[in-house]
Structure 1
C-alpha cells in the first residue's frame, strides 16, 4: 500500500476526539431511551470503546452519562407501554416479553422501577433480634454496681454503720 492510502484510511475512521457536542448528543439520546449500541452505529459517532474511555477521562461526561441512564428509565417504561398498547393477539407473548425486558432494564437504571424488597430481621431460632450489645451489657453491669454501692452506703448511714 502507498503511504497516501494508509493516511486516507486513518482519516476515514470514526471520530475519537472528545467534544462537548458529541458527549451531549450521546447523553441526550441515552436519556431518550436509545441504547449505546444503536448510537455508536451512526457514522459521526465514536466507537463504543471510545465512549467508555471518555468516561474514564472526563468526569463530567461520566456523571452526565450516568444521569442520562437514570432518566432513560422513564423512556423505557413508556416504550414498553407503547408495545403493549399496540400488541395484537398474534404477537401478545412476544410483545409482553419485549415490554418486560424494558421494565427490567428500567429497574436496573433507576431504582423507582426496581423490585421492592422487604427485609425482615429475626434473632436466634426465629425469635426477636437481641438489641443489647456486649458494650451495653458492660455499661448496664457498671450502672448496677454503682446502684448497689449507693444503696449499701445509704443503708450504712441509716443503720449507724452496721449492716
Structure 2
C-alpha cells in the first residue's frame, strides 16, 4: 500500500483562530483587513477554509451580519452629532459652516451602505414580496377561457391583432 504525500504547507486552521477571525469580523473589520494583519492567513486561505469547514462559513456569515450593527451605530452617532452641531449653531444665531452637513451626509450614507452590505435583511433597501395561494402554498392559476359565444370573424380579428396580419382566406390561414 502506497500513500501519497500531500503537497503544500499544512493548514493553520484551528477553532481558536476561526473564532478570533470571526470576532474581528464582528467588530467591523473586513476579511481583507484581517488578512493583512500579522499572523493571519491570506484571503485565499479563508476561502478554502470556508469550503472545507462549513462551521467556519456559518460562523463568519453570522459575524458579518452582527457587524452591521457597528456601522449602523456609527451612522446614528454621526446623525446625533450633526443634530447637536445644528442645534448649537441655531441657538447661537450662527449658520452651519458650508460643507459640514454634506460631509456628515456622505459619511452616514457610507455607513448605511456598509450596514446593508453586511445584513441586507435588516438594513437593506430591497424589499421582498412573496405571493402565496390560499393554503400558503403556490398560487393556483386557472384558465377558464370559453369561446363558445365568440364569432369566427371576431376570432380572426383577435388573431390579426396578435400576429399582426389580416386573415383573408376562407379557412382562416
TM-score interval, smaller chain: 0.5 to 0.7
TM-score (norm 2): 0.55
Alignment of 1:22-61 (within 5 A): 22-61=17-56
2:142 is matched with 133
Alignment of 1:59-138 (within 5 A): 59-86=54-81, 89=97, 90-110=99-119, 111-115=121-125, 117=127, 132-134=141-143, 137=144
| CA drift at 1:59 | 0.4
Tell me the distance in 2 between the aligned counterparts of 1:41 and 1:57: 22
Q: Indicate the SS of the match to 2:76.
A: helix
Tell me the distance in 2 between the aligned counterparts of 1:41 and 1:86: 32
| CA drift at 1:62 | 0.2
- Aligned CA RMSD, in angstroms, stands at 2.9
Higher Cα Rg, which structure: 1
**Structure 1's 85 and 36: CA in aligned 2 closer, same or farther, altered over 3 A?**
farther
TM-score (norm 1): 0.58
Q: How many residues of Structure 1 are paired with residues of Structure 2 in the alignment?
A: 113
Listed as ranges, the gaps of 5+ residues in structure 1 are: 1-10, 122-130, 139-163
Structure 1 segments (4+ residues) deviating >6 Å = none
Tell me the distance in 1 between the aligned counterparts of 2:128 and 2:59: 31
Tell me the distance in 2 between the aligned counterparts of 1:16 and 1:38: 20
Tell me the distance in 1 between the aligned counterparts of 2:78 and 2:36: 24
**Structure 1's 100 and 132: CA in aligned 2 closer, same or farther, altered over 3 A?**
same
| CA drift at 1:91 | 3.9
Q: Which moved more, 1:41-50 or 1:60-69?
A: 41-50
| CA drift at 1:116 | 5.1
Listed as ranges, the gaps of 5+ residues in structure 2 are: 1-8, 86-96, 132-139, 146-173
CA contact (8 A) 1:73 1:107 kept: yes
Q: Indicate the SS of the match to 1:37.
A: helix
Query: Which is helix-richer, 1 or 2?
Result: 1
